[in-house]
Structure 1
Amino acid sequence: MTDPNVPPPERPEVVHHTTINNPPPRRGGGGFLGFLIGGLVVAVVVIGVVLWSQGGGIEAPKGTEVDVNIDLPRPELPDAPRMPDLPNPPPVEPPSVPNPEPAPAPVG
């Protein structure tokens, strides 16, 4: 045991602490994401080249006026017999709906 009457040892005014953090190495995930983003960039570049190179070689028409005349021969139809008039339908009474039992409760 130490003597309680002895003063504690002197401490330095500045205490230096050094902390070293070594995180675990990362694994996977970066390769596929880079491949995906690279593919999207290539696709956008290809679409841009096609659009800015006059639409991929397709020329726009000079005008929009179109004249379409089709002359078809009209065949002569023979005189067809006329359809007879249909008879009047028989009278039918509407179906009856029974009253509900018990009577519905009044509203209000």
Structure 2
Amino acid sequence: MTDPNLPPRDDRPEVVHHTTINNPSTGGGGGAGWIGFLVGGLVVVLVIIAIVMFSNGGLDRATDTNVDLDVDLPAPTLPDAPRAPDLPDLPQVEPPTAPDPTPAPAT
């Protein structure tokens, strides 16, 4: 300790060099910057999609939806082909029989 009753010393150098040592922590948390950037980018993309969806695509669309269609169907190529109600009846087919699924009793 210095004595406050003594005059100040003049033998001190005018330039004092200090050394600073930075010790970064090794406890993790060092890679969170890119995750924030990624989440922010996803939020921006979702906002753009929501704007497009809720503004009906952002295009001026026609409000009149009355459409008149007139389609000319070609004539049948086979003149002797029967029409759907004139088809012949299907023959009666007896359903197949299956063997009894229970096993025979043991004797």
Taking structure 2 as the reference length, the TM-score comes to 0.40
